[in-house]
Amino acid sequence: MPFRRLAAAPGERETRDRAEREQPHRPSGLPQHAVLPLMSNLTSDVIPTEGPRVTATLEFSGGGGHWPGVFLRAARESRRLARRRSEGDNWISHMEALALAYSGRLQQARNTSRRAVAEAQQAAQRERAAQWETAAALREAFFGNAYEARRRATAALNLSKNREVEYAAAFALALTGDDPRSEAVANDLERRFPEDTSIRFRDLPALRARLALNRGDVTKAFEQLQAAIPNELGVPRSRLEGGFGALYPIYVRGQAYLAAHQGTAATMEFQKIFDHTGIVVSDPVGAIARLQLGRAFALSGEKVRAKGAYTDFLTLWREADADIPILKQAKEEYTNLKD
């Protein structure tokens, strides 16, 4: 069987299009081109391009979101091939952690993240170690583990104060309600990077808007997010280097619409995340946005579509750790929705 880098499986597009027609409320699967950048360490003898194996791994369903498993297997194979390159090992460990967390396997993700950070520090890659810590902080924040998110954010900031680390740490702190520390880091970003377009017109608006929502000021949140509109679909450096940080202004706007009890508008924002899965890839925002979409449909009175979105999330997290706070909330909300 010939081998080369991952190519489109026969019938993949038709399968995806058919699924979208049959279940229009469900987000489409991850496009093939979104997997390729994360597989850049694979050599040419890893993944077959013919036969049932490719078809099985690349037929994505909107609800199942099977691609993290594909990436996890590829990342582990990359690890085997990269043993001789210690500097690359921590990148692979980090990507494994992202894939594990995306499907809710939090304890495994934590262990893998710790390994990634340790490997980066052993390789004298302090900036990388800080990025891996911030990614872990974001994951914990999205999942509702405030204490752990704050701890990891602090660890990241102790390692580095670069702009990607500060932004992600501040965002994680904002998600946990630690407004004073988040505001302090946001102010530092504004002071140090006054001419940085990404900071001024994407990162800070998302941060300031999330902080406004924490104060219950929905109007201010919408005002802050106006500045991000021209840039919010861009791929930030943090996403390219660490797999996190993409489409956060859109996510926050969706949260703002939920807070304003505008369910239909909220669904449009969260749907944007699914429409750009090639940008999000394995960022936990992609998994949690499924749940938020269910909440938005429920708020709009679209009970059937809400059930579908909740089912998508719970199916994706069918092997998730049972004690994750946001999973407990999702299960309770879904039960109430069925009553």
pLDDT tens sequence across 280-295: 999 999 999 999 999 9
* pLDDT score recorded for residue 78: 59
What is the residue type of 17?
D
Distance CA 134, CA 96 (A): 15
Q: Is 204 exposed, middle or buried (0-12, 13-18, 19+ CB in 10 A)?
A: buried
Checking if the pLDDT of 22 tops 70, the result is: no
Domains with residue ranges and CATH for the chain: 12-338 (1.25.40.10)
Q: Is 298 exposed, middle or buried (0-12, 13-18, 19+ CB in 10 A)?
A: buried
Checking if the pLDDT of 264 tops 90, the result is: yes
* pLDDT score recorded for residue 261: 97
* pLDDT score recorded for residue 338: 78
What is the average pLDDT across 76-86? Answer: 55
* pLDDT score recorded for residue 133: 98
What is the average pLDDT across 8-13? Answer: 40
* pLDDT score recorded for residue 282: 94
Mean of pLDDT over the chain = 82
Checking if the pLDDT of 85 tops 80, the result is: no
Distance CA 99, CA 105 (A): 9
* pLDDT score recorded for residue 332: 97
Q: Are 321 and 106 in contact (CB under 8 A)?
A: yes
**8 vs 318: which has the higher pLDDT:** 318
Estimate the crossing angle of helix 163-175 against helix 179-192, to 10 degrees. 160
Instruction: Name the band, by pLDDT with cuts 50, 70 and 90, for residue 88.
Output: confident
pTM attached to this predicted model:
0.78
* pLDDT score recorded for residue 68: 58
